[in-house]
Structure 1
Amino acid sequence: MNPTVVRPLRSRPVLWAMLALALGLPVHAQNAPAPATTAPGQVTNLEAVTVSGEQPGPGLWRVSKGDHVMWILGTLSPLPDRMQWKTDDVEQTIASSQEVLGPPSIALKPKTNFFGKLFLLPSLIGARKNPDGQKLQQVVPAPDYARWLTLKQQYLGNDRSIEDWRPIFAAVELYDKAIKRHGMTPSGGVKDAVRDLAKKHNVKFVTARYTMLVEQPRDAVKTFKSSPMDDRECFGRTLDTVERDLGRITERANAWATGDIDLLRSLPMNDQREACIAAVTEAGFAKQLGFSDVKQKADGIWMEAAEQALNSNAQTFAMLPMEELLSPRGLIARLKAKGYQVEAPDGSDAEGVAPVQP
């Protein structure tokens, strides 16, 4: 069997992409370590090299009740760009399953027909820009802007158009370019590979998705474009990540690729994400449109689908973000609390605290 080569994320309209990105990120995470003291503009990343070639990826978590079992693959972002994921064991597990359950996801669906969607596209132009024509320099703290200029030159070059963008969009662009420069890719193609394997073996793929129907999409875009957003902390935390933490993120990506669960447990998972999630969910426009609790709703849909699969299928294959498997507040811990038996790839329990008793 051939290893799976990583593939990039597909592009999406900017407003929906940002909201889906921020709202869909896991929030059950460990606390990040306190950042080291660094002079403005000084980059302190440790040198780290991503693994390449054929790699096994992490082992599978086992959730069971009676003779019904669910095997769960932990996903992670970013991953090594030049890695080839060896999917032999995963493929055999999928082929022997009656169902593949995708991870919790969120979709924003405009309530309009095809032509309405077509005419909606022009209104998305400029959605990334700050309201009232403000420049990035005017909306972020001066020390952060000074750091931004250094990192922008390093990773983005002389692109002047980005100076019109909201801090959260500028932060995402910087982060994406930085991880690419360090040999990583946002998706790794893992979810697509699992979906393809399910299709290959004619196994039903179930999407655990919470879909938000946007009643007035043009009004929603208009509200978003004119509304303020407190995304300065997201911007600053992203600068911290790019300045200091790319070595740790590379180490985490390598740990996923090589299947080092102990190392994954020891490394923080949240980076700048919680601050960026809050920037979206706490914004006035998000509360008006009902975005504030969609993560919880998506998790609820996944839990319901997982329990149904465990009751109905002899064997199920599923995916969850790695932090949902490692956190004591994650979805795997919630299944354990409901009475399901949980075993990590190394034979420990859900949080890796104690060996599973025979």
Structure 2
Amino acid sequence: MIKFLRSPWLLLLLWPLLLRAEPAFYQVEKGAQTLWLLGSVHAGHTSLYPLPKAIDEAWQQSRQLVVEVNLNQITPGDLAEMARLTRLPDGQQLADVLPAALYAKTQTAAARLGVPIAQLAPLQPWYAALALSQAAIGQSGFDPALGVDSHFLAQATDAKRPIKGLEGFTEQLGYLASVSAHQNAMLESTLDELDDFKQSFTEVLNAWQAGDETHLSELLKEEMGPQELQEWLEQKLLAERNARWLTQLPGLESGSFIVVGSLHLYGPKGLLAGLAERGYRIERLSPPATTPG
């Protein structure tokens, strides 16, 4: 199964078992600009909160929230484009575009998760995979509304704090839809992950809550599916988007509090490496203070 940015899949990093652990949280500085950077879990549980003191203190000082997409600004035009990107052409059904064995496997998973197959029938295979993942989240007791990005969006909205998206809603959907050449592999990989969904995300979240980025990155890479899918994910959904975001970060108001999917932070093309290359001083505030290497 794969995961990106704000949708579920890999970065859902769920189920907090290490209640006293602290997720990795960074302060980055260059000149007069100070930014805070937190890797997100995009669904969660009440036991995630309250977040550690270092995170809360930085949030209280912050001047604006920066997220992947500002979901408070979705327009009717965005919804129309979403329908175009996520649905099959008129007259086509999922059964028409999938190999028979994969469609049968999809039917079985949908029945187990309580998703009517008619609901999946008009969807592109990549979006059917996402719909099944969402159903698995709910069935496992997790809630996207309790994800870290959703938490801060709600906090910022209530406080009337400015919210900036690093990309638009349809821009993000366009990145996802670009998987089309590999979407059958994505669907099959997602179906294979559903049986041990809760256990897999438990392991990932344990690493997230412990602030163990090395182990977290290893676990997430194991979840990426076959090689062709991993290469697409790393290039299109991570490297390309990180490069675009890095052009925006120097222009952010000092005091910006940035929340993005955790997988965007790490690795040679991650945001932390990119900020270091651009001369930012990086301090890890939580767990207490080490500088990422």
TM-score w.r.t. length of structure 1: 0.58
Among 186, 193, 209, the residue aligned to 1:241: 193
Instruction: Measure how far apart 1:183 and its partner are.
Output: 2.2
Counterparts of 1:142-153 in structure 2, within 5 Å, are: 142-153=100-111
SS across alignment from 2:67: coil
In structure 2, what is the Cα distance between the partners aligned to 1:100 and 1:68? 13
Unpaired segments of 5 or more residues in structure 2? 172-176
Which has the larger helix fraction? 2
Instruction: Measure how far apart 1:252 and its partner are.
Output: 1.4
Question: Contact between 2:46 and 2:146, CA under 8 Å: does it hold in 1?
Answer: no
**1:172 corresponds to which letter in structure 2?**
L
Aligned to 2:174: none
SS across alignment from 2:264: helix
Counterparts of 1:122-271 in structure 2, within 5 Å, are: 129-131=87-89, 133-156=91-114, 159-186=117-144, 188-198=146-156, 204-210=162-168, 229-230=180-181, 231-244=183-196, 246-257=198-209, 259=211, 261=213, 263-268=215-220, 271=224
Highest RCO, 1 vs 2 (Cα 8 Å, sep ≥ 6): 2
Question: Contact between 1:241 and 1:272, CA under 8 Å: does it hold in 2?
Answer: no
Aligned to 1:69: 34
* Root mean square deviation, CA, Å: 4.5
Among 239, 255, 260, the residue aligned to 1:320: 260
Between structure 1 and structure 2, the one with the greater Rg is 1
Question: Contact between 1:63 and 1:341, CA under 8 Å: does it hold in 2?
Answer: yes
Aligned to 2:282: 342
Aligned to 2:272: 332
In structure 2, what is the Cα distance between the partners aligned to 1:150 and 1:209? 36
Q: Does 1:100 align with 2:58?
A: no
- Measured against aligned partners, the alpha-carbon deviations of 1:232-291 in whole angstroms (never above 9, x if no partner) come to 222212212224554222321344356554542441156469949969x9xxxxxxxxxx
**1:247 corresponds to which letter in structure 2?**
Q
- Measured against aligned partners, the alpha-carbon deviations of 1:73-101 in whole angstroms (never above 9, x if no partner) come to 11123x3334342145433212223x334
Counterparts of 1:1-80 in structure 2, within 5 Å, are: 50-51=15-16, 58-65=23-30, 68-77=33-42, 79-80=43-44
In structure 2, what is the Cα distance between the partners aligned to 1:156 and 1:175? 12
| Cα 1:73/1:125, change in 2 over 3 Å | closer
**1:71 corresponds to which letter in structure 2?**
W
Instruction: Measure how far apart 1:198 and its partner are.
Output: 4.4
- Measured against aligned partners, the alpha-carbon deviations of 1:280-303 in whole angstroms (never above 9, x if no partner) come to x9xxxxxxxxxx89984x645632
| Cα 1:240/1:105, change in 2 over 3 Å | same
- Measured against aligned partners, the alpha-carbon deviations of 1:316-338 in whole angstroms (never above 9, x if no partner) come to 43223211212221122111111
Aligned to 1:219: none
In structure 1, what is the Cα distance between the partners aligned to 2:170 and 2:105? 37
SS across alignment from 1:193: helix
**1:80 corresponds to which letter in structure 2?**
G
SS across alignment from 1:320: strand
Unpaired segments of 5 or more residues in structure 1? 1-21, 31-48, 214-223, 282-291, 354-358
| Cα 1:101/1:307, change in 2 over 3 Å | farther
Among 300, 303, 306, the residue aligned to 2:246: 303
- Number of aligned residue pairs: 271
SS across alignment from 1:318: strand
Instruction: Measure how far apart 1:201 and its partner are.
Output: 6.2
| Cα 1:150/1:198, change in 2 over 3 Å | closer
In structure 1, what is the Cα distance between the partners aligned to 2:48 and 2:24? 16
Report sequence identity in percent: 21
